[in-house]
Amino acid sequence: MKVSEKYRAKALDCEQRGRDATDYDIKCAWEEVAIEWHCLSNRAAQGSGLDYELVFASRSRAPPVAA
């Protein structure tokens, strides 16, 4: 998954949260956050080496917890 795709997914999630919100101020806040994610996505997709492929490493087991 590329950075721009990840940012766009975050924008779509924020848009959905805005649609689901019942409070007008919360709805507006989510819409503003979505706009910012869309801007970041577009900027990454336009080049300058920012739209690199994200690689997720899988762990075979959970990391140890300090006692």
| Domain layout of the chain by residue ranges | 3-45
User: Under a CB-based contact definition with an 8 Å cutoff, are residues 52 and 3 in contact?
Assistant: yes
Residues 32, 10: Cα–Cα separation, whole Å: 12
Residue appearing with tokens 């690199």: 52
Q: What pTM, to 2 d.p., does this model score?
A: 0.71
DSSP 52: P
Q: What is the pLDDT of residues 11-61, one digit of tens each?
A: 999 999 999 999 999 999 999 999 999 999 998 888 756 556 655 555 666
Q: What is the pLDDT of residues 32-46, one digit of tens each?
A: 999 999 999 998 888
Higher pLDDT, 58 or 7: 7
Provide the CA 38 distance to its chain's centre, in angstroms.
9
Angle between helices 3-20 and 24-45 (to 10 degrees): 170
Sign of the Cα torsion 25, 22, 7, 5 reads negative
